[in-house]
Amino acid sequence: MSWTAEQKMRLLFALRSKGVTDKRVLTAMESVDRGLFVQGLFADRAYDDTPLPIACGQTISQPSIVGLMTQALEVNPRDKVLELGTGSGYQAAILSQLARRVYTVERFKRLVDQSQAVFDRLGMTNITTFLSDGSHGLPEHAPFERIIVTAAAEDPPGPLLAQLGIGGIMVLPVGQSDAVQTLIRVRRTEQGYDYDELCPVRFVPLLEGLGRE
């Protein structure tokens, strides 16, 4: 069963009221059923604007944060996007509607397998999933026009800055993992990197190595 018109309307209303106004982002979010990415106990809350627990002790982000991050990323249809932290796969699925290709990296095999199964079911063939420690990025596929990180690091990881193309944009939460973090946007120019702060957020930490679960 897919989501109802009423569930869709309520979610879109929540997105708009939190500042997600970009038409392309709203259309992408309207076309991806979040219920497919939330399993078990919390399935009945899939359309609430709230983060929810997923497997391996991780979380699917709050829809309005997914919307704001996607909006800040200013994705173009020809872009190749790198996502760090596949988690449920929801953010990658939204990106797949807006970008040419999405490379998404996750450190838990179970999450890679589960999200890949949903991408297959939805026919999202422009997403490639990778099981690896994403803090090193994907040098063999760089440079990327856009990079999005959905786990918090204290600073933007150096390899990711290096793999961002000139003119590229990276959106990521930075700060201590047990405190409120700041969502920042990094733009790479010919001269270097420009940073701006977007809003306070709370994400699970970016960890090293593969997950053992």
Report the interface residues with ligand SAH, using CB under 6 A.
58-61, 84-85, 87-88, 90-91, 105-108, 111, 133-135, 150-151, 204, 206-207, 211
**Among 2, 17, 31, 61, the one annotated catalytic:** 61
Q: Which is nearer to ligand SAH, 6 or 178 (CB)?
A: 178
Reference 151, options 169, 128, 186, 177; nearest CA is: 177
Reference 58, options 94, 85, 23; nearest CA is: 85
Reference 96, options 169, 148, 49, 44; nearest CA is: 148
Contact, 2 vs 35, CB < 8 A? yes
Q: Which residue has the tokens 């997914």?
A: 66
Q: Which is nearer to ligand SAH, 97 or 167 (CB)?
A: 97
To the query of whether residue 61 is one of the catalytic residues in this protein, the response is yes
Q: Which is nearer to ligand SAH, 134 or 168 (CB)?
A: 134
Q: Which is nearer to ligand SAH, 5 or 179 (CB)?
A: 179
Contact, 153 vs 135, CB < 8 A? yes
Half-sphere exposure of 120 (CA within 13 A, CB side): 7
Question: Could you give the residue numbers annotated as active site?
Answer: 61
